[in-house]
Amino acid sequence: MSGVEEPSTTLSSAELARALAVIKAGGVVAFPTETYYGLAVDPFSRQALSRLFALKRRPPDKPVLTLIDKEEQLSLLASHVPDLYRPLMRAFWPGPLTLVFDAVPDLPVILTGYTGTVGVRISSHPIARQLVAAAGQPLTATSANYSGQLPALTADEVVDQLGLDVDLILQGGSTAGGSGSTIVGLAETGLVELRPGVIPFAAVLEQAGL
C-alpha cells in the first residue's frame, strides 16, 4: 500500500516511525533530497536491494548511491577514507557531492554493482537528514524513477512513474532538480569526475588543492 504525506520540511514523529517501520520490513520509501526524490531501503539487506532493483528495472551492474548522517558511519560502507577526500568532505558535506570509496568486503555486491566500490554523501535536505539520522545507519538514495527515465522532482512524479510499487512517499514539495549530485572517484592519476552534477568539478579540484 502506498501513502503520500503532506508537504513539510520536517517529519512528524508518526511519519518518521512509519518510514522506519517500512524500511525495517524491507520496504521502499521515497523521500526528497537536495536534487531529486530518492528511494530509501536498507543497503545491508539483499532482499530489500533486490526489490529496489526490480522496482526501478535497474541493471544489476549499476551501483546504488547511499546517504549517511555523519562521517562516523563511513566505516559501515567504506574500507578507508582517501586523504584527498577529507577536504572535500569538509567543504561539500552536507551537500550534493557523492564520493566513491572502496567498499567494505561484506557489503552486498548488488549495492556496489559488482564494482567493489560504494558512492556516499551526506544530504543537505532536512527530511533526508532526519530520515537517515533516525535510521541510525546508511540508507540508499537512488533516484525515484525507472532506470533511464527522468528522476522525479515531486511526490506526484514518483506516483506517476512508480505508483503503488513504492510503500511510502514522504512529501517534501518540489526538489531543485536540474542535476544530480556530482560523483567523484579516485584513480591513479588523482580525482576523477564520474558524473557531472550540481557542484562543478573545478570547484572540487580547487578544494582538494589540485
What pLDDT, in 10s, does the model give residues 15-29? 999 999 999 999 999
Residue 8: its pLDDT value, please? 56
In whole angstroms, what is the distance from residue 88 CA to residue 91 CA?
5
Please give the model's pTM, rounded to 2 decimal places.
0.93
What is the set of domains in the chain, with CATH numbers?
Answer: 13-207 (3.90.870.10)
Count of C-beta atoms within a 10 Å radius of residue 1: 5
Residue 1: its pLDDT value, please? 38
Query: Hey, is 99 helix, strand or coil?
Result: strand
In whole angstroms, what is the distance from residue 97 CA to residue 90 CA?
11
Q: Which residues of the chain have pLDDT under 50?
A: 1-7
Query: Hey, is 113 helix, strand or coil?
Result: coil
What pLDDT, in 10s, does the model give residues 143-171? 999 999 999 999 999 999 998 889 999 99
Written as nine digits, the cell of 168 is: 511510502
